[in-house]
A = this chain, B = another copy of it.
Amino acid sequence: MLEIVHNPAKDVLNVIKIGGKLIENKELLDSFLTDFVQLKGPKILVHGGGNKATEVAGKLGFKTRMIDGRRITDKDSMEVITMVYAGLLNKSIVAKLQGHKQNAIGLCGADANVLISRKREVKDIDYGLVGDVVQVNTEFIKSILKQEIVPVFSAISSTDDGVLLNTNGDSVASEIAIAMSNIYITQLFYCSEKKGVLKNIHDDDSVIAELNSDKYQQLKASKVLTDGMLPKLHNCFEAINRGVSTVYLGDAELLKKGAKHTKIVN
């Protein structure tokens, strides 16, 4: 297990985001959840949807429209996303956690108004029913955590008028972690395909162990960091600047003792 920050004034809260292959591959997901249940203290899980929504949409005869690699979420797509993310994937994860005797509750943004978002403004492209989180109901989340129940979030938020919106899973995780840092010392974990930030893009083991803002600027200036990594790191440092204590980047094994990862600090 990773090092846990201790502070007498506030408890530590771990917010863990999973997505991509980790959601699609049953063995990877089961292995991850086994590690997750062993993580002590208050914790929150956020999951994306992987390719399951596209697969189901295809079978239902809905075309998934993409522009520059981004999904256009029309009404039919949003129905499929609600079915797959908030239904199938979310409740399967909750049920698996209950099977591990880890009490959990599945939530989308509309539940208890937990993630209020604003529909993204239409500029050049109308991405449709897509939103950005503007408010997190921290009191409700705290009430769940106090009952030793793990909130499991699908990446769906809601306007304050009750319109469900497709929302970036990484942002859902960081907005929750940022908002909860008023109450807890929050640590944010992104589990994806890579073991962390790489010194050499061609060497999956060249993981940079720790990155602070100064080192990040240096590596950016010296072109060591690839373009693909920059938006993700920008998000990570935004989380750090807005109150999150530490961000960890790693793969499906991130929660395992001794797993390689990148630790991002102030």
Contact = CB atoms under 8 A, between A and B. Distances in A.
A42 interface: no
* Chain A interface size, under 10 / 10 to 19 / 20 to 34 / 35 or more: 35 or more
Nearest to A97: B162
The count of identical subunits is: 2
Contacts of A98: 110, 113, 158, 160-162
Contacts of A94: 108, 110-111
Interface stretch (A77-85, A166-174, A214-222, A242-250): A77-85
User: Binding site of A, secondary structure by majority: helix, strand, loop or mixed?
Assistant: helix
Nearest to A149: B112
Contacts of A113: 98, 103
25 contacts: A56-B60, A59-B59, A60-B60, A82-B87, A83-B88, A85-B87, A86-B86, A87-B87, A87-B88, A87-B90, A91-B110, A91-B111, A91-B156, A92-B164, A95-B158, A96-B162, A98-B162, A99-B163, A103-B112, A103-B113, A104-B111, A105-B107, A106-B108, A112-B147, A143-B147
